[in-house]
């Protein structure tokens, strides 16, 4: 599978999974556990993704994947959380670092 096909497939899956939540909104969480239940899925995802990006071999390393993640954050800030902006800027950072590293 080519890099472009993989990126497009991941982008389509990500977009579809996020759009599916717009079709049926989640119930509001109430009580003392409400704030925890609203933030837990995001925090869990960030924790799992960070381990794979920062230390894929068990030791911290600067990799193109880490640059892609940083680019995605920059894209989210600059484009005000636009999915296209996140994917384009993240991919741009990834390929730039991959080209520079060789």
Write the DSSP assignment of 16-70 as a string of letters: HHHHHHHHSPPPPP-STTHHHHHHHHHHHHHHHHHHHHH-TTSS----HHHHHHH
The percent of residues above 70 in pLDDT, for the chain, comes to 60
The per-residue pLDDT for 23 is 67
Judged by average pLDDT, the poorest of 56-60, 62-66, 87-91, 92-96 is 56-60
Q: How far apart are the first and last CA of the chain?
A: 21
């Amino acid at each position: 599978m080519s890099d472009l096909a993989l990126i497009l497939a991941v982008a389509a899956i990500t977009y579809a999974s996020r759009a599916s939540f717009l079709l049926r909104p989640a119930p509001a969480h109430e009580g003392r556990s409400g704030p925890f239940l609203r933030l837990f899925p995001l925090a869990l995802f960030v924790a799992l993704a960070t381990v794979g990006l920062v230390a894929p071999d068990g030791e911290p390393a600067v990799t193109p994947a880490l640059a892609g993640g940083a680019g995605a954050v920059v894209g989210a800030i600059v484009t005000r959380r636009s999915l296209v902006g996140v994917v384009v800027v993240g991919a741009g950072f990834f390929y730039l670092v991959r080209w520079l590293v060789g």
